[in-house]
Amino acid sequence: MPAPSSPWVVHKFGGSSVADADCFRRVAAILESQPAGRLGVVLSACKGVTDALLALISQAESQDPAHRRGLESLRSRHAAIAEALLPADAARLYLAGFDRDCHDLEGILHTVQLTRSAARNVVDLITGYGEIWSTRLFREFYERQSQRPGEVRWIDAREAVVVEWGPLGPAVQWPESRERLQRLVPADFTGTLIITGFIASDRRGVPTTLGRNGSDFSGSIFGALLDAAAIHIWTDVDGVLSADPRRVPDAQVIDSLSYNEAMELAYFGAKVIHPQTMAPAVGREIPIWIRNTFAPAHPATLICARPESQLAVKGITTIENIALINLEGAGMIGVPGTAHRLFGALREEGVSVILISQGSSEHSICCAVPLEQAQRAAAVVRAAFARELEDGQIQSVEIDSELAILAVVGDGMAGIPGIAGKVFDALGSASVNVRAIAQGASERNISVVVPRKATTRALRAVHASFYLSPHTLSIGVIGPGTVGRVLLDQLASQSERLRRDFKLDLRVRGILSSKKMLLCEKGVDLANWQGEFDAATTPADLAKFVEYVGADYLPHRVIIDCTASGDVAKHYAAWLAAGIHVVTPNKKANSADLPSYRALHEARRAGGSHYLYEATVGAGLPVIQTVRDLRQTGDQIASIEGIFSGTLAYLFNVYDGSREFSDIVREAKQRGYTEPDPRDDLSGMDVARKLIILGRELGMALELADVQVESLIPAGLEQGSIDEFLARLPAHDATMRRRFEAARAQGKVLRYVGRLTADGTATVGVVELDARHAFANIALTDNVVRFATARYCNNPLIVQGPGAGPEVTAGGIFGDLLRLSAYLGTRL
């Protein structure tokens, strides 16, 4: 048997923890698993009972006879639990007491019905029955089940806890309450107390309640009265979460919080524990554990004076339905007492001020208030400053509604540079506008006011920026064909590693082909994407696809266009302007007419989005990045020239005069080295588009018409079917043969080269090169790009490698996607 001096441990169980007979059994099992010692067990009413009792009062006030049926329903529910848990005799005894309570309630409700009004003390009396019923029933059940030593005693908190209601709510009268409890529970008591939560009495002995969250408050009060070693609050979640899991599915259980951190999170809307509830425990530094009744072995959250958590930021939470009241005017500058007048007026009107922000110029001051109080608050402020408004000393009193407050909380933020920067960087990357900012000198809380419609996006972005959850990119892949299929397979092979090692969640939420689309809220199973896509039946709809992938509540949205479609590329500007990032190997947008190109990049700037297109030139080769690096470091690029087509590289590498050029074209098509129509390669327009892209990267105002292109399509074969083209091509072999022989006679080779010079000259065509030239000695389908610059003048910089093929092109797209992730805050 535990010694009388063994410490008390208080356990409080909420309504969801005692909802039915199975829940009662679960609570009993939890108590039985506790170490030896004295237990105080505080219970709420069974789930929904307090609300049902309040409904009875409303029905009686409106003279609705349905309150009688409500009482019968409450009896039936408790009878079902009692009959499931207790022997028949014990159940009948319990229900006899329940019936006496119902008889009393009938009389009280009849009085309410006659007067059509229930005084506060009457409401408190009626609503307090729920805890009486649940604790009496549990005491009867647990006494029969418990193997713990000592008595199981029922305590009516109205006989122990004395409170007086004031402006700040119920204030515990500690000396009187402690004295009363000592009379009820002697010092040598060694058993278990089953205690009613929520209810108390005033100094006159009149029953009252502790308000909403009152049972949690009861747990803390009895923890203090019993000098408990710990308080355990049992609920239906795994401790305190780093964010609302309905908005941030990857929210984590916070291992430990200080009392101050918990109060900050609770004030700003987190479902933690009410600050008032903690007060008795805080004063005596009693640790509070938040645990899950339905998963008692899961991690829990410890709230204590000196937590040992290594996390700088503990949680991110929000308050919605906020409005800003902004007082602005030059007459405020340097005038003392303006803030006092503003907040005094709001106080007198009973308006709650949630957040205050003022610039050092004193030109304006704003405060956040509940949206429902905004009009009243503005009217009060205008009245308080009526003379200044009339004289023009104050220009305006404005309301900005449809806002929310996002709060970042953590004791570890104090003194650490860069925390605020990370918050604002995350919000900026997610295209969330910040309307007002507040931070206390303790540096425990950074609060920002953001548009209400962007609340979820802001919450997810900031949460991920502190590695409390993975950085999630909502991805839509357009074109699951040759390149898109390989990209999806590459994503499948790396997604688990990226999530594990870098907390990067590349979530493909949509795949679109020309005929149908697959949409998946939680992300496509990349290991089986082909099977899921084959089974999809939704007709293709580009607008709906982009709307789905670009859902506003997701912080980072990406469209990957793996097509060569000009029609798809025309939508890039609208997507970028809407804050949706674009990654693509499609050359059409960047080589479109110059006004469209400029509008595209203006849309990108306006939307604060990213547009990545490395794979448009050289597939996976770092060609565009090399151009940017050279320019941004101050190098002067004199010329860029290269073999930019893997198809044409193959044709001229293989063509050695032993076979006709038309045969090699046909063979290349059979091997898949050309486009379905080889004329798309032979025209030289693909190379010309790549030169346009590079020229525009250099700041040149180039149009396709400015590029001198030598087409390899013989005159007269531009039109007609592919088969007809291939059939008629041999008739023109002699022309290519003569050019080859002439070059060979001079010890040279033929190559199809694109060249761009600093003066804007752009040419594409067949050239003769020395056999020792860098372009003369490359692998069959390689691209090679030669940069002549002020730094690389005697020995030009060369980038060489496979410049075509689905694997390397998909790899280039994947690389851009990872670069985008880094821009958005992922540490790779």
Record the tokens describing residue 7, joined without a space: 């410490």
Query: Which residues does 746 contact at the CB level (< 8 Å), separation at least 6?
Result: 768
Cβ contacts of 539-544, under 8 Å, gap ≥ 24:
539/515, 540/512, 540/513, 540/514, 540/515, 540/516, 541/517, 542/478, 542/512, 542/568, 542/571, 544/517
Question: CA 23 to CA 597: how far, in whole Å?
Answer: 64
Contact between 781 and 805 under an 8 Å Cβ cutoff? The reply is yes
Instruction: Yes or no: say if 629 and 614 are a contact pair by the CB < 8 Å rule.
Output: no
Which residues, other chains included, contact 445 with Cβ-Cβ below 8 Å and sequence gap of 6+? 264, 268, 407, 408, 409, 439
Q: Is 152 helix (H, G, I), strand (E, B) or coil?
A: strand
Spatial distance between the Cα atoms of 259 and 280, rounded to a whole number of angstroms: 11
DSSP, residue by residue, 454-522:
GHHHHHHHHHHHTTSS-EEEEEEEE--SHHHHHHHHHHHHHHHHHHHHH-EEEEEEEEE-SSEEEE-TT
C-alpha 673 chain-centroid distance: 43
Q: How far apart are CA 50 and CA 15, in angstroms?
A: 9
Burial class (CB in 10 A: 0-12, 13-18, 19+), 136: buried
Q: Which structure tokens are listed for 57?
A: 């009062």
In the block, which residue shows the tokens 């007086």? 164
Q: Distance between CA 764 and CA 61 in Å, rounded?
A: 89
CA distances, 461 to each of 34, 302, 412 (Å):
40, 26, 20
How far is 58 from 116, CA to CA, in rounded Å?
Answer: 9
Q: Checking DSSP bridges between strand 230-235 and strand 8-13, what pairing results, if any?
A: parallel
Which entry of 516, 570, 690, 748 is annotated as an active-site residue?
A: 690
List Cα–Cα distances, 656 to 225, 230, 271, 435, 642, in angstroms. 98, 87, 76, 68, 21
Q: Could you write out the three-class secondary structure of 10-59?
A: EEEECHHHHCCHHHHHHHHHHHHCCCCCEEEEEECCCCCHHHHHHHHHHH
The answer to whether residue 690 is catalytic is yes
Helix/strand/coil for 89: helix
Nearest to 643 by CA among 764, 760, 793, 501: 764
Cα–Cα nearest to 296, from 19, 34, 39: 34
Nearest alpha-carbon partner for 291 in 47, 470, 85, 26? 26
Could you give the C-alpha distances from 60 to 65, 70, 218, 695, in angstroms and in order?
7, 11, 29, 81
* Kind of pairing between the strands at 445-451 and 396-409: antiparallel
The dihedrals phi and psi of 374, each to the nearest 5 degrees, come to -65, -50
Considering only CA atoms, give the Rg of the chain: 37
What ranges make up the beta strands (E) of 47-191? Answer: 152-155, 163-166, 169-172
Amino acid found at 803: G
Catalytic residues: 690
